Amino acid sequence: MLMSGGVDSSVAAYLLKEQNYQVIGLHFKTVSDVIFSLIPEKKKVCCSPSDTQDALKIANKLDLDDFQIVDIKKEFKDKIINYFINTYKEGETPNPCMLCNRFFKFGKALEIANTYGADLVSSGHYLIKEYSKKYSTYIIKKGVDQYKDQSYFLSYIDKNTLPYLYFPLGNMYKVQIRDIAKKIGLSVANKPDSQELCFIPDNDYRRFLKQHGVNPKEGKVYDLEGNEIGTHTGYMNYTIGQRSGISYYKNADVKLHVYKIIPQNNILIVAPTEKMYSNELIVQDVNFFVDFDQVEGFCRVRKKSEEKPAVVNKISDNTLKVSFKEPIFAVTPGQFATIYDESGVVLASGVIN
């Protein structure tokens, strides 16, 4: 059982005990505790020293069969932090949580489970895993709580892990989880949800990049016609669709957004709002849960966006073309696109190219 120290994983562990499972708690340490004393949290993040203490308290209160704190700092730096830094260097916008879920929460955790002879890895995520008769395979799909659904964030985990995963909260609502936590006297019943990256407690990614040797330099800003119209503070400080942080030589008559980032020349190209909409995108490094050549479904292009109707065509074994039925705003290279069917089943996901 993945134990973050939050209310969701704590109640999930309790429910497993109620279902007569033997439960072994795993708590990952992704970065050094000293980071949280040097850089105080602005909002709640996971994997902090207080989270470790909370997870340990819950494990003791629930009388788990075992509890293990797992140091993954070196592997996490290699696979997640370096990816985060390098993606910004390439002028794209990363989503490290997607890779953390793939490699650690539902990768490394399975390796550890095997050493125990455990049958399943469980967590407090809000999504449903089940065997689909329609697709003749195990699938994941949206949890019933649409406001807490985490199917997008787990859409890049390895399909081969699905038979060994269990999500006890998928058919429950957040309010039910907090009610259970209060009823059984868990100290984390009212604990806020984690919102930011575990390795950047203050959520200041620009400070983090500078701290890790990425020193942005002022560059030029051009419009779509190739006219130089302003300056920026360094291309890695921007993402597609952004409006703030640009100095123009004169006041623009229209709202301008970052349209394209050219990292090798430290250049931003900006465009008015109406030019920021796309009808299609290409997805690479695709993770298929269900194989298909063409499907009509829905595509989500970032964590806080709605799914939009689209026709999705398989171009190769690791590439998809997504054609939207209505244009979408600010498609961002480096982010992940997730494809759903009409019932909320995750069909595939991959990196927007």
pLDDT tens digit string along 200-229?
A: 999 999 999 999 999 889 999 999 999 999
174 and 294 belong to one structural domain:
no
Query: Which is the catalytic residue, given 47, 97, 100, 299?
Result: 100
**245 is annotated as contributing to ligand binding:** no
Strands (DSSP E) along the chain, which ranges? 24-29, 66-71, 121-122, 127-132, 137-142, 165-166, 219-222, 228-232, 247-248, 256-262, 267-272, 277-288, 294-300, 308-316, 319-329, 336-340, 346-352
265 and 282 belong to one structural domain:
no
Bridge partners of 53, per DSSP, are none
Q: What is the CATH number of the domain that holds 37?
A: 3.40.50.620
Q: Please tell me the distance from the alpha carbon of residue 3 to that of residue 153, in angstroms, as a whole number.
A: 17
**51 is annotated as contributing to ligand binding:** no
pLDDT tens digit string along 17-50?
A: 999 999 999 999 999 999 888 887 777 778 889 9
32 and 172 belong to one structural domain:
yes
Residue 346 lies in a domain: yes
Number of domains present in the structure of the chain: 3
The total of other beta-carbon atoms located within 10 Å of residue 255's CB is 12
| DSSP letter (8 states) at residue 302 | S
Residue 207 lies in a domain: no
**Is residue 139 predicted with pLDDT exceeding 90?**
yes
Average model confidence (pLDDT) across the chain: 95
**3 is annotated as contributing to ligand binding:** yes
pLDDT tens digit string along 235-250?
A: 999 999 999 999 999 8
**Is residue 234 predicted with pLDDT exceeding 90?**
yes
Q: Which pLDDT does position 46 carry in this prediction?
A: 83
Q: Please tell me the distance from the alpha carbon of residue 297 to that of residue 324, in angstroms, as a whole number.
A: 10
User: What's the burial of 297, exposed, middle or buried (CB within 10 Å: 0-12/13-18/19+)?
Assistant: buried
Q: Which pLDDT does position 196 carry in this prediction?
A: 80
Residue 203 lies in a domain: no
Residue 34 lies in a domain: yes
Q: Which pLDDT does position 44 carry in this prediction?
A: 76
Residues 87-109 as b or e (16 or more Cβ within 10 Å = b): bbebbbbbbbbbbbbbbbbbbbb
**5 is annotated as contributing to ligand binding:** yes
Residue 70 lies in a domain: yes
Q: Is 291 left (phi over 0), alpha (psi -120 to 50) or beta?
A: beta
| Angle between helix 7-18 and 174-183 (nearest 10) | 70
55 and 115 belong to one structural domain:
yes
39 and 176 belong to one structural domain:
yes
**Which residue segment(s) compose the domain that 332 sits in?**
277-352
pLDDT tens digit string along 285-325?
A: 999 999 999 999 999 999 888 899 999 999 999 999 999 99
Residue 136 lies in a domain: no
259 and 316 belong to one structural domain:
no
Structure tokens, 135:
């697709």
User: What's the burial of 274, exposed, middle or buried (CB within 10 Å: 0-12/13-18/19+)?
Assistant: exposed
Query: Which is the catalytic residue, given 46, 97, 198, 299?
Result: 198
314 and 286 belong to one structural domain:
yes
Helices then strands, each counted (H, E), the chain: 9, 17
Looking at residues 163-177, what average pLDDT do you find? Answer: 98
Q: Which pLDDT does position 194 carry in this prediction?
A: 84
296 and 338 belong to one structural domain:
yes
- The percent of residues in the chain predicted with pLDDT above 70, rounded, is 100
Report the first-to-last Cα separation within the chain, whole angstroms.
35
pLDDT tens digit string along 243-287?
A: 999 999 988 789 999 999 999 999 999 999 999 999 999 999 999
Classified as helix, coil or strand, 159 is: helix
pLDDT tens digit string along 80-101?
A: 999 999 999 999 999 999 999 9
Looking at residues 63-68, what average pLDDT do you find? Answer: 97
47 and 119 belong to one structural domain:
yes
Which phi and psi angles does 222 have, rounded to 5°? -120, 155
Structure tokens, 332:
């961002």
| pLDDT band at residue 58 using 50, 70 and 90 as cut-offs | very high
293 and 339 belong to one structural domain:
yes
Q: Which pLDDT does position 195 carry in this prediction?
A: 77
**50 is annotated as contributing to ligand binding:** no
**7 is annotated as contributing to ligand binding:** yes
The total of other beta-carbon atoms located within 10 Å of residue 211's CB is 11
Q: Is 122 left (phi over 0), alpha (psi -120 to 50) or beta?
A: beta
Is 100 considered catalytic here? yes
**305 is annotated as contributing to ligand binding:** no
- The percent of residues in the chain predicted with pLDDT above 90, rounded, is 90
Q: Please tell me the distance from the alpha carbon of residue 221 to that of residue 219, in angstroms, as a whole number.
A: 7
Degrees, nearest 5: CA angle 265-269-275: 155
Is 198 considered catalytic here? yes
